[in-house]
Structure 1
Amino acid sequence: MTTTLETDVLIVGGGPAGMMCGITAAQFWPSRRVLLVRPEEQAVVPCGIPYIFGTLGGTDEDLAGRAPFLAAGGRILIGRIASVNRDARHATLEDGTRIAWNRLVLATGSTPFVPPIDGHALDGVFQIHKQYDYLDELLSERLPGVATLAILGGGFIGVEFSDELRKRGIEVHLIEQRPRLLGASFDADASEAVAARLRALGVKVHTGATVAAIEAQADGVRVAGVRLDNGGRLSVEAVLIAIGTRPDTRLAGDMGLTLSRSGGIWVDGFQQCREDPQIFAVGDCAHKQDFFTRHANHALLASQAAAEGRIAGMNLYGLKLPRTNAGTIAVYASQIDELAFGVAGLTEHSARDIGFEVFTGDARLPDHHPATMPGTHEVHCRLVFDANSERLIGGQVIGGPTTAEILNTLAVAIQLRATATDLASFQFGSHPRLTAPVHPIVAATGEALRRRLGTA
Structure 2
Amino acid sequence: MSTPIETDVLIVGGGPAGMMCGITAAQFWPARRVLLVRPEEQAVVPCGIPYIFGTLGGTDEDLAGRAPFLSFGGKILIGHIASVDRNHRIATLEDGTHIAWNRLVLATGSTPYLPPIDGRELPGVFQIHKDYDYLDTLLGETLPGISRLAILGGGFIGVEFSDELRKRGIEVHLIEQRPHLLAGSFDTDASLAVEARLASLGVKIHTGATVTAIEADASGQRVGGVRLDDGRNLPVEGVLIAIGTQPDTRLAADMGLTLSRSGGIWVDGFQQSREDSQVFAVGDCAHKQDFFTRHASHALLASQAAAEGRIAGMNLYGLKLPRTNAGTIAVYASQIDDLAFGVAGLTEHTAREIGFEVFIGDARLPDHHPASMPGTHEVHCRLVFDANSERLIGGQVIGGATTAEILNTLAVAIQLRATATDLASFQFGSHPRLTAPVHPIVAATGEALRRRLSPS
Counterpart mapping for 1:366-377 below 5 A: 366-377=366-377
Q: Structure 1 regions of 5+ residues with no counterpart?
A: none
Determine the structure 1 residue equivalent to 2:441.
441
Determine the structure 2 residue equivalent to 1:353.
353
Determine the structure 2 residue equivalent to 1:107.
107
Deviations 1:91-116, CA, capped at 9 Å, x for gaps: 00000000000000000000000000
Determine the structure 2 residue equivalent to 1:117.
117
Once residues 352 and 149 of structure 1 are traced to their aligned partners in structure 2, the CA distance between those partners, rounded to angstroms, is: 37
Determine the structure 1 residue equivalent to 2:97.
97
Displacement of 1:221 in angstroms is: 2.0
Once residues 241 and 208 of structure 2 are traced to their aligned partners in structure 1, the CA distance between those partners, rounded to angstroms, is: 17
Q: Size of the alignment, in residue pairs?
A: 456
Counterpart mapping for 1:73-92 below 5 A: 73-92=73-92
Is 1:47 matched up with 2:47? yes
Is 1:306 matched up with 2:306? yes
Determine the structure 2 residue equivalent to 1:169.
169
Letter matched to residue 267 of structure 1: V
Displacement of 1:220 in angstroms is: 2.3
Indicate conservation of the 8 Å contact 1:80/1:93, yes or no.
yes
Which runs of at least 4 in structure 1 moved beyond 3 Å after TM superposition? none
Is 1:296 matched up with 2:296? yes
Letter matched to residue 292 of structure 1: F
Counterpart mapping for 1:33-432 below 5 A: 33-432=33-432
SS, match of residue 305 in structure 1: helix
TM-score normalized by structure 1?
0.99
Determine the structure 2 residue equivalent to 1:15.
15
Once residues 121 and 243 of structure 1 are traced to their aligned partners in structure 2, the CA distance between those partners, rounded to angstroms, is: 16
Deviations 1:140-190, CA, capped at 9 Å, x for gaps: 011112100000000000000000000000000000000000000000000
Displacement of 1:455 in angstroms is: 6.7
Once residues 234 and 218 of structure 2 are traced to their aligned partners in structure 1, the CA distance between those partners, rounded to angstroms, is: 16
Once residues 107 and 239 of structure 1 are traced to their aligned partners in structure 2, the CA distance between those partners, rounded to angstroms, is: 29
Letter matched to residue 386 of structure 1: D
TM-score normalized by structure 2?
0.99
Instruction: Provide the aligned C-alpha RMSD in A.
Output: 0.7
SS, match of residue 51 in structure 2: helix
Once residues 55 and 197 of structure 1 are traced to their aligned partners in structure 2, the CA distance between those partners, rounded to angstroms, is: 17
Indicate conservation of the 8 Å contact 1:423/1:445, yes or no.
yes
Once residues 390 and 455 of structure 2 are traced to their aligned partners in structure 1, the CA distance between those partners, rounded to angstroms, is: 17
Displacement of 1:217 in angstroms is: 1.6
Once residues 442 and 221 of structure 2 are traced to their aligned partners in structure 1, the CA distance between those partners, rounded to angstroms, is: 57
Displacement of 1:230 in angstroms is: 0.8
Q: State, as a whole percentage, how many aligned pairs show the same letter.
A: 87
Indicate conservation of the 8 Å contact 1:3/1:96, yes or no.
no
- The 1:422/1:116 distance shift into structure 2, 3 A limit, reads same
Once residues 155 and 186 of structure 2 are traced to their aligned partners in structure 1, the CA distance between those partners, rounded to angstroms, is: 10
SS, match of residue 118 in structure 1: coil
Once residues 185 and 70 of structure 1 are traced to their aligned partners in structure 2, the CA distance between those partners, rounded to angstroms, is: 37
Once residues 321 and 133 of structure 1 are traced to their aligned partners in structure 2, the CA distance between those partners, rounded to angstroms, is: 41
Letter matched to residue 380 of structure 1: H
Displacement of 1:3 in angstroms is: 4.7
Once residues 276 and 427 of structure 1 are traced to their aligned partners in structure 2, the CA distance between those partners, rounded to angstroms, is: 46
Displacement of 1:237 in angstroms is: 0.1
Q: Structure 2 regions of 5+ residues with no counterpart?
A: none
Indicate conservation of the 8 Å contact 1:56/1:62, yes or no.
yes
Displacement of 1:125 in angstroms is: 0.3
Once residues 204 and 400 of structure 1 are traced to their aligned partners in structure 2, the CA distance between those partners, rounded to angstroms, is: 24
Once residues 437 and 140 of structure 2 are traced to their aligned partners in structure 1, the CA distance between those partners, rounded to angstroms, is: 46
Letter matched to residue 364 of structure 1: R
Once residues 15 and 86 of structure 1 are traced to their aligned partners in structure 2, the CA distance between those partners, rounded to angstroms, is: 23
Once residues 107 and 382 of structure 1 are traced to their aligned partners in structure 2, the CA distance between those partners, rounded to angstroms, is: 35
Once residues 2 and 78 of structure 2 are traced to their aligned partners in structure 1, the CA distance between those partners, rounded to angstroms, is: 17
Once residues 449 and 413 of structure 1 are traced to their aligned partners in structure 2, the CA distance between those partners, rounded to angstroms, is: 17
Once residues 108 and 115 of structure 1 are traced to their aligned partners in structure 2, the CA distance between those partners, rounded to angstroms, is: 21
Letter matched to residue 432 of structure 1: P
Displacement of 1:4 in angstroms is: 1.4
Once residues 364 and 302 of structure 1 are traced to their aligned partners in structure 2, the CA distance between those partners, rounded to angstroms, is: 30
